[in-house]
Amino acid sequence: MQGDAYLKCINPQCGIEYPIEYTSVQCEKGHLLDVKYKNKPSPELKEVFYKRRNSEGSIFNESGVWRFRELLNFCQIDTENIEECSKYLVSLDGAEGRQSKPYHMSKAADFIGIPNENLWLQPEGYNPSGSFKDNGMATAVTHAKMTGAKKIVCASTGNTSASAGMFAANEGINCDVYIPAGQIAPGKLSQAYQFGAQIVEVDGNFDDALKQSLDDAQNHDGYTVNSVNPFRIEGQKTIPFRALEYLNWEAPDWLVYPGGALGNISSCGKALMELHEWGWIKKIPRIAVINSEGASTLSDLYNGKFENEKLRWNDGNPNIELISRYYDHLDKEGLRPKTKATAIQIGRPANILKGLRALEFTNGVATTVSDSEMLDGMSVVGLNGFDCEMASGATVVGIKKLINEGVIKNDDVVVGILTGRQKDAMIPVDYHRNSENEFAIPPKN
């Protein structure tokens, strides 16, 4: 299917197209890009994906990402030809996405106030590097290799760098990671060191680190693997694919994610747009994105909390000036994103326009939760025998808040994504030592 895949600017007024080998993360006018496919995959592939769960020795069937390879075939290979797959597709021996699927968690359902059978939570923390990032890193590094990149580069609040470092070590390529000094979880920092990444400490926050890493990638021949890279988005589409497949492709009412740089909701939106266009799903689930109260750019703008205007994708004509004025306002007032959930401590979500597009397509909502609520969400997940980090707790308490507000109805079917595993050992210890916390089980002596 050579010539099937290409890149296209997301701005409908611009819409410039590029060949698939193009490596910039923007069009020449500075807009984000989408990977596009000319051919329409047949719904009969559902059967093929299902059968691949018996991997028959192929790591590309074992992989929760490449199992769906026909729906992200930007390498334009013969997907049944294992030699071609081995030559092109980057994989952690089939482990990315392999363990992810939705589960019922009764204690979380009780806490939220939703019937247990209507709540599904999908832990992405059991990916090899401990977060959902491995889904998108498999595809981004595949494109990096396809275009001959020698070095991958990212900025990170910790999980992207862990994932990038792991893939780079596996592929024998270099990796530079820009991290906001002192603002990432110790377990995430140690992963980047352990995988041999070159750490660049930035005196500032994630937004500053991203700016510096994008500049350096451009000036020093690096390949950017942050979620502004459209190939990251392709791999992360498999998160909703796995959820939908598990539900026999019967779309739930809601898909709920924590929001940071908004790569995840962008990929979920793209996955749903494609599946709907291809006729694989009839109903479109609504996306709910949960910001931290201390890093609430999307929620503020989407809900009209700034200048009383509700920011919308508006069919490809979003009010960009409103976003600029919001950022100027943050700068002028010295407002820096601040939350204990450092994974989502982001003030300038790089994918905001794709995020808005996803919310428009799915009639989505955005809201915020506090740090102490996120800790409760994280902790109740733990009581079900699952492990997640504080930012992922936002999903649980976000669902609870939206149910209490009557936005999510009690009989709605909800899939919440638990984005990452606990990598800050002291957060649960401190939580449980304080008997005032809702789920605390303090130590005895």
Site residues, ligand F0G (CB under 6 A): 131, 156-160, 227, 258-264, 343-344, 389, 391-392, 419-420
Rounded to the nearest whole angstrom, what is the least distance from the CB of residue 126 to ligand F0G in the complex? 13
Task: Tell me the C-alpha distance between 90 and 158, whole Å.
Answer: 21
Give the whole-angstrom CA distance, residue 404 versus residue 399.
9
Shortest approach of ligand F0G to residue 261 CB, angstroms? Answer: 3
User: Is 63 or 266 the residue whose CB approaches ligand F0G more closely?
Assistant: 266
Distance CA 358, CA 348 (A): 17
Q: Count Cβ atoms below 10 Å from residue 11 Cβ, excluding itself.
A: 19
Nearer to ligand F0G, 59 or 263 (CB): 263
Q: How far is the CB of 222 from ligand F0G (least distance, A)?
A: 16
Which residue number, 75 or 399, has a Cβ lying nearer to ligand F0G? 399
Smaller CB distance to ligand F0G: residue 263 or 428? 263
* Alpha carbon distance 427, 375 (integer Å): 8
Phi and psi angles of residue 234, each rounded to the nearest 5 degrees, phi first: -60, -45
- d(CA 150, CA 224) in angstroms, rounded, equals 11
Between residues 23 and 419, which has the closer beta carbon with respect to ligand F0G?
419
CB nearer to ligand F0G: pick between 235 and 258: 258
Tell me the two tokens of residue 284.
């479109």
Residue 242, CB-side half-sphere exposure with 13 Å CA sphere: 29
Task: Provide, rounded to whole angstroms, the least separation between the CB of residue 281 and ligand F0G.
Answer: 22
By C-beta, is 318 or 420 nearer to ligand F0G? 420
Residue linked to tokens 């916390």? 437
- The dihedral region occupied by 46, where left means phi > 0, alpha psi between -120 and 50, and beta the remainder, is alpha
**Which residue from 427, 423, 418 is spatially nearest to 399, judged by alpha carbons?**
418
Closest CA to 163 of 126, 192, 205: 192
Q: Convert 262-301 into a string of H (helix), E (strand) and C (coil).
A: CHHHHHHHHHHHHHHHCCCCCCCCEEEEEEECCECHHHHH
Min dist CB 432 to ligand F0G, Å, is 21
Q: What is the CA radius of gyration of the chain?
A: 20
Q: Smallest distance from the beta carbon of 107 to ligand F0G, in angstroms?
A: 21
The C-alpha atoms of residue 137 and residue 163 are separated, in whole angstroms, by 7
Instruction: Report d(CA 65, CA 235) in Å as an integer.
Output: 6
In angstroms, rounded to a whole number, what is the distance separating the alpha carbons of residues 412 and 370? Answer: 24
User: Could you please report the per-residue DSSP string of 117-134?
Assistant: GGEEEEE-TTSTTSBTHH
Output the smallest distance, CB 232 to ligand F0G, in A.
Answer: 9
Q: How far is the CB of 158 from ligand F0G (least distance, A)?
A: 5
Q: What are phi and psi of 206, to 5 degrees?
A: -60, -40
User: Please, which residue, 79 or 292, has the CB nearer to ligand F0G?
Assistant: 292
> What minimum distance in Å lies between the beta carbon of 392 and ligand F0G?
6
Of 118 and 161, nearer to ligand F0G (C-beta) is 161
Would you say 58 or 303 has its CB closer to ligand F0G?
A: 303
Q: How far is the CB of 369 from ligand F0G (least distance, A)?
A: 13
153: which DSSP letter?
E
Please list, in sequence order, all residues whose beta carbon lies within 8 angstroms of the beta carbon of residue 97, skipping any fewer than 6 positions away.
63, 64, 65, 67, 127, 134, 135, 138, 238, 239, 242
> Least distance in Å: CB of 160 to ligand F0G?
4
DSSP class of residue 258? E
Please identify, using beta-carbon distances, which residue of 264 and 362 lies nearer to ligand F0G: 264
